[in-house]
Amino acid sequence: MTTIVLIRKNNDVVVAGDGQVSMGNTVIKSTAKKVRRIEKRDVVAGFAGSTADALTLFERLESKLEKHAGNLSRSAVELAKDWRTDKYLRRLEALMAVADKEKSFIISGTGDVLEPEGDVIGIGSGGNYALAAAKVLMDTDMSAEEVAKKAIKVASDICVFTNNNLNIEKV
């Protein structure tokens, strides 16, 4: 698994993820990039799950954004519908945290498109640790990026499937 945290603070949106790829109890790679930016549509996304699944879902999200003129809400719902009903896609066990300047969502393979209460999302094996740390840090003077970095650091100190090699994207 992995840790992804999405922070929305002071008109900034930041998605940060660790870089660890594990196979069972073995670290295979420590510098994977699990956070991507969809440049044309000013959307950022982070992924918790296998790498092949991530690439497939990022491509699908990008095509949905193109089809729906950048409407993230509509694209997220359409992706979740495909993910849940398509024979191939429904086997993917993963979560995505996605955001644009207006909205943030968690998208799952069970058809969920969840808009969080508050301005923080945490997904993956260390997601709850990062979520808890970020919620506490939101009341400080720290920037969105600083909150995200610190939240991933906290998660990496607790979760064995999370490291502190960060990938960060902003909108």
Measured from the Cβ of residue 100, the count of other Cβ atoms closer than 10 Å reads 21
> Using one digit for the tens of pLDDT, what is the confidence trace for 97-150?
999 999 999 998 777 899 998 899 999 999 999 999 999 999 999 999 999 999
The tally of domains found in the chain comes to 1
Residue 62 is part of a domain; what is its CATH number? 3.60.20.10
Q: Which of 2, 3, 31, 140 is catalytic?
A: 2
- Catalytic, 2? Answer yes
- Which range of residues forms the domain containing residue 132? 3-170
User: Whole-angstrom Cα distance, residue 125 to residue 13?
Assistant: 22
Residue 4: which of 30, 36, 29 has the closest Cα? 36
Residue 5: which of 157, 158, 150 has the closest Cα? 150
User: Whole-angstrom Cα distance, residue 25 to residue 106?
Assistant: 27
In the predicted model, is pLDDT for residue 44 greater than 90? yes
φ, ψ dihedrals at 166, nearest 5°: -90, 145
Would you state the structure tokens that stand for residue 135, as one six-digit string?
A: 């919620």
